[in-house]
Amino acid sequence: MKFNNKHLWAATLALAWAHGAHALSIRFDLPQAARHSTAIAQLEIEAAETITAPSGANCGTRYSARILDGIKGVATGSRIEFGFFTGHAVGAQYFVFLKGSAVLAQQNAHAPEARIPMTSPIPHSEDCRKLLPRLIETGEGMGTLEILPSRQSHAPNEPAVTLDAHLYPVPLKLPVAFWHEGFIFEGELLGTVEFSVENFSSYLRLLLGPNQQP
- For 48-82, the pLDDT digits (tens) are 999 999 989 899 999 999 999 999 999 999 999 99
Give 101-130 pLDDT, tens digit per residue.
Answer: 776 656 555 444 444 444 567 777 788 888
Single residue among 117, 146, 175 that ends a domain in this structure:
146
pLDDT in tens, 135-182: 999 888 899 999 999 887 677 788 999 888 778 876 666 556 666 666
Together in a domain, 140 and 34: yes
Q: Is residue 41 a part of any domain in this protein?
A: yes
pTM: 0.78
Which residues have CB under 8 Å from 10's CB, separation 6+? 170, 171, 172, 173, 174, 175, 176, 177, 179, 189, 193
- What does the pLDDT read at residue 17? 33
**Residue span of the structural domain in which 33 resides:** 20-146
Other C-beta atoms lying within 10 Å of the C-beta of residue 108: 20
Do 115 and 170 belong together in one domain?
no
Same domain, 70 and 167: no
